[in-house]
Amino acid sequence: MEMSTVNIILGIVFIFFLFLIKELAKSKSKNKYRKKRIPKFSNDYFNDKNLLETQNERIKSLLNTDLKSVSLMNKEEFLIFQSLEKLLNERFVKQKYRLFTQVGLGGFIKTKKSERICSEDERKAFFSINQLRADFLIIDRFGKPVLVIEYQGTGHRLNNSTDRDTRKRYACNKVGIELIEILGKEDQSYLNKVILFLDNHQNKLR
């Protein structure tokens, strides 16, 4: 009986020992799993040089920078804006055209393929126009862009203006958007060009 009792006790101890080993193994596995996730929330994650443009960094830069508001258009551009606005409200009010200014080309011209699957050349082509701005953009009643108007006046003849204008012209031509240029404040023929184009655009829709 004594030997049997000893064997039972040893068996219980052995089973308990196995149970402890199993629990320790689980604990190590969980700790290892947690350690893999720690960098996601650590300070090192946010300080990584590849992640300088995180929301926290942007907000920090914004708060530490002196900003000011500026006029969206210069005086010459604003006069053109008023003339175009008056034209649309008086002659094309039924057609419900809308006028916008300083619109980024990347907002209304895209690559046919999505950014995820487009080629490197297609991505470069988009980036080459993404930050360019149309001085004036007219859209139709459905929100589709139909006409870009560029003013070549004060402040527009910078070092790389020819390059920018060429990229705008090519991009608009590729997607079938008309582009009219106003060659300085003395050029008053642009209103007639806009009228002619919008009349033709309406005729095509009929």
Q: Would you write out the chain's pLDDT as a tens digit for each of its 206 residues? A: 556 676 677 667 677 777 777 777 766 655 554 544 434 444 554 455 555 557 778 888 889 999 999 999 999 999 999 999 999 999 999 999 999 999 999 999 999 998 889 999 999 999 999 999 999 999 999 999 999 999 998 655 556 678 999 999 999 999 999 999 999 888 889 999 999 999 999 888 77
> Are 93 and 193 members of one domain?
yes
Whether residue 68 is contained in a domain is answered as no
> Are 88 and 182 members of one domain?
yes
> Are 21 and 122 members of one domain?
no
> Are 32 and 133 members of one domain?
no
**What span, in angstroms and rounded, lies between the C-alpha atoms of 161 and 87?**
28
Closest alpha carbon to 170 in 80, 193, 162, 97: 162
**What span, in angstroms and rounded, lies between the C-alpha atoms of 146 and 103?**
13
> Are 43 and 132 members of one domain?
no
> Are 96 and 182 members of one domain?
yes
> Are 121 and 153 members of one domain?
yes
Q: Which of 12, 36, 63 is the last residue of a domain?
A: 63
Q: How many domains does the chain have?
A: 2
Q: Tell me the residue type at 110.
A: K
Q: Report the SS3 class of residue 92.
A: coil
**C-beta of residue 154 within 8 angstroms of C-beta of residue 76:** yes
E strand or H helix that includes residue 134: strand 133-139
> Are 6 and 44 members of one domain?
yes
Per DSSP, the chain holds a count of helices (H) and strands (E) of: 7, 4
Return the pLDDT at 38.
39
Return the pLDDT at 33.
46
> Are 27 and 105 members of one domain?
no
The residue range of the domain holding 132 is 75-205
> Are 92 and 191 members of one domain?
yes
> Are 23 and 107 members of one domain?
no
Whether residue 70 is contained in a domain is answered as no
Angle CA 74–195–88, to nearest 5: 60
Closest alpha carbon to 185 in 163, 159, 165, 156: 156
Whether residue 46 is contained in a domain is answered as yes
**What span, in angstroms and rounded, lies between the C-alpha atoms of 90 and 130?**
33
> Are 159 and 84 members of one domain?
yes
